[in-house]
């Protein structure tokens, strides 16, 4: 069976170079691997948790969708969709919410961080906590379990959420699976690369540190300006420089071939100025990002095309989600009344089987008889000294059907007796 990989990006901003190198680029490469089925989506329901600016959410969703496609994602090859186009996801969230322990959600990092911040500010612990923030891991579990993803590439900060999704899946399987694994247990994949790209100041590139290099926004000029702000040491042009541990060099590495990496290091050791090095970095990045930016701008200028791609993606996703949710609803007991009637009839039919009865008569001997489902006598045995012998004949008749030398009196037609015995073999 093929392997399912799934990941989402929350739609509250635009993407930077670190998102591209750490998430988008490896995800697109993985989507081209044979035997891998990829599911990538805009997590816009998640965006509502931390953002109450409708225009920002709408703009971000569109920009992130355009970014994926501009970077080379093939929507024919993967399932690429907006979370909010799949109403089965919030419905599944509720089914999962009902089996999720509140105590476990109390321990979620995002919630605990909010409580710690409020407490530190002398406020009520839950002062800024919505139910959306509190239940965030359950929504994320629904994203993942809806498509039975095996692997979920995420940053380190999300690993706990994947573990929670596993726990929730396990509990649901246990309660409702009747021995079946309704949900696949997902695994987090934390690529070393996910954490790799440093920002302008050498710390991890992140919006919250205000140290990002924009991916497409602002064009080549913004790229150039950001690179100019990368912190280096203060060695002068001509002075030999140690390339190791320099953010500039690590960012260069993320776009360079092994040969380019070696040449860049050699040049720095040979005295290349930081200014010159920055220009080389801009040229390297722009060579790869530039053509994508052109596609990005074209997609942003054509929302109808983008919308059509996402609608098609939602169709593909729902072709999986709709029938699966139907199964899950039935598993928890949300069934059409006609379906439960059918179950009751099936049970009644199952109950209506012929029966062997074993008993002892006043003569001290052991007997058995076969009765039809309706209670008519079909076979009557002779008497046995030992109850065990009677039992062995019953077992043999159940197992083998009619046996020519069975010590019984036939009380019905051959067909009726054979059909009754056949019912035991079908059991
Ligand atoms: N919560 C994730 C983040 O902030 C985004 C996300 C939402 C996600 N649903 C997901 C990631 C499902 C992986 C799988 O980064």
Spell out the per-residue pLDDT of the chain, length 427, in tens.
579 999 999 999 889 999 999 999 999 999 999 999 999 999 999 999 999 999 999 999 999 999 999 999 999 999 999 999 999 999 999 999 999 999 999 999 999 999 999 999 999 999 999 999 999 999 999 999 999 999 999 988 899 999 999 999 999 999 999 988 999 999 999 876 556 799 999 998 988 899 999 999 999 999 999 999 999 999 999 999 999 999 999 999 999 999 999 999 999 999 999 999 999 999 999 999 999 999 999 999 999 999 999 999 999 999 999 999 999 999 999 999 988 655 555 555 555 778 899 999 888 999 999 998 888 889 999 999 999 999 999 999 998 888 888 999 999 888 888 888 888 876 5
Ligand 1 atom at minimal distance to the Cα of residue 43: 7
Q: Which of 246, 273, 293 is the last residue of a domain?
A: 293
202 domain residue, yes or no: no
Give all strands (DSSP E) within 286-422, no chain letters: 355-360, 366-371, 377-381, 408-410
Answer whether 154 contacts ligand 1 (Cβ < 6 A): yes
- Written as one string, the DSSP assignment of 339-353 is HHHHHHHHHHHHH--
C-alpha of residue 141 to centroid of ligand 1, in Å: 9
**Residues 271 and 317 occupy one common structural domain:** no
* 211 assigned to a ligand binding site: no
Q: Which long-range contacts (CB under 8 A, 24 or more apart) does 413-421 make?
A: 416/372, 416/378, 417/370, 417/378, 417/379, 420/354, 420/370, 420/372, 420/378, 421/354, 421/370, 421/397
C-alpha of residue 78 to centroid of ligand 1, in Å: 17
344 domain residue, yes or no: no
Answer whether 11 contacts ligand 1 (Cβ < 6 A): no
Closest residue by Cα to residue 82 from 60, 55, 56, 110: 60
The residue segments making up the domain with residue 323 are: 3-194+302-332
**Residues 10 and 104 occupy one common structural domain:** yes
**Residues 271 and 150 occupy one common structural domain:** no
Q: What is the pTM of this model?
A: 0.79
**Residues 142 and 211 occupy one common structural domain:** no
User: Whole-angstrom Cα distance, residue 113 to residue 117?
Assistant: 6
**Residues 174 and 77 occupy one common structural domain:** yes
The DSSP code for 188 is E
**Residues 101 and 166 occupy one common structural domain:** yes
C-alpha of residue 40 to centroid of ligand 1, in Å: 10
146 domain residue, yes or no: yes
Ligand 1 atom at minimal distance to the Cα of residue 161: 1
* 38 assigned to a ligand binding site: no
Of 143, 159, 191, 195, the residue with max ligand 1 atoms within 8 A of its CB, to mutate for a pocket test, comes to 143
C-beta separation of 369 from 380 below 8 A: yes
Half-sphere exposure of 235 (CA within 13 A, CB side): 19
C-alpha of residue 140 to centroid of ligand 1, in Å: 6
**Residues 170 and 99 occupy one common structural domain:** yes
**Residues 287 and 413 occupy one common structural domain:** no
**Residues 401 and 326 occupy one common structural domain:** no
**N-term to C-term CA, the chain:** 31
* 14 assigned to a ligand binding site: no
**Residues 312 and 276 occupy one common structural domain:** no
347 domain residue, yes or no: no
Among protein residues, the one whose CA lies closest to atom 11 of ligand 1: 8
Counted domains in the chain:
3
At residue 219's C-alpha, the angle toward residues 296 and 207, to 5°, is 90
C-alpha of residue 130 to centroid of ligand 1, in Å: 18
């Amino acid at each position: 069976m093929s392997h399912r990989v799934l990941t989402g990006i929350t739609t509250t901003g635009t993407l930077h170079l670190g998102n591209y190198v750490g998430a988008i680029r490896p995800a697109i490469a993985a989507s081209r691997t044979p035997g891998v089925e990829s599911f990538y989506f805009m997590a816009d329901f998640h965006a509502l948790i931390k953002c109450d600016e409708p225009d920002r959410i709408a703009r971000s969703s569109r920009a992130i969708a355009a970014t994926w496609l501009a970077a080379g994602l093939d929507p024919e090859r993967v399932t690429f969709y907006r979370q909010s186009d799949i109403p089965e996801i919030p419905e599944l969230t509720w089914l999962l919410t009902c089996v999720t322990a509140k105590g476990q959600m109390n321990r979620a990092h995002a919630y605990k961080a909010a409580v710690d911040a409020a407490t530190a500010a002398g406020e009520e612990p839950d002062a800024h906590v919505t139910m959306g923030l509190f239940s965030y891991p359950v929504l994320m579990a629904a994203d993942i379990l809806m498509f039975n993803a095996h692997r979920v590439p995420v940053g380190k900060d999300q690993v706990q959420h994947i573990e929670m999704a596993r726990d929730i899946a396990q509990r649901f399987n246990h309660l409702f699976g009747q021995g079946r694994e309704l949900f696949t247990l997902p695994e987090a994949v934390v690529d070393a690369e996910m954490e790799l790209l440093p920002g302008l100041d050498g710390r991890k590139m992140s919006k919250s540190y205000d140290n990002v290099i924009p991916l497409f926004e602002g064009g080549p000029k913004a790229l150039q300006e950001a690179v100019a702000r990368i912190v280096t040491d203060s060695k002068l042009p001509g002075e030999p420089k140690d390339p190791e541990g320099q953010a500039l060099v690590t960012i260069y590495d993320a776009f360079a071939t092994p040969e380019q990496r070696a040449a860049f290091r050699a040049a720095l050791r040979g005295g290349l100025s930081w200014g010159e090095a920055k220009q080389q970095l801009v040229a390297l990045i722009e060579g790869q990002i530039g053509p994508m930016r052109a596609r990005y701008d074209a997609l942003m200028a054509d929302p109808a095309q983008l919308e059509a791609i996402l609608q098609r993606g939602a169709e593909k996703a729902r072709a999986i989600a709709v029938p699966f949710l139907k199964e899950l609803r039935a598993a928890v007991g949300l069934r059409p009344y006609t379906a439960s009637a059918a179950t009751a009839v099936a049970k009644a039919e199952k109950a209506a089987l012929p029966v062997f009865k074993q008993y002892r008569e006043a003569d001290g001997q052991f007997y058995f008889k076969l009765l039809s489902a309706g209670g008519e006598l079909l076979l009557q045995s002779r008497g046995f000294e030992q109850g065990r012998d009677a039992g062995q004949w019953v077992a043999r008749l159940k197992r083998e059907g009619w046996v020519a030398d069975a010590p019984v009196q036939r009380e019905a037609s051959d067909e009726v007796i054979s059909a009754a015995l056949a019912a035991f073999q079908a059991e």
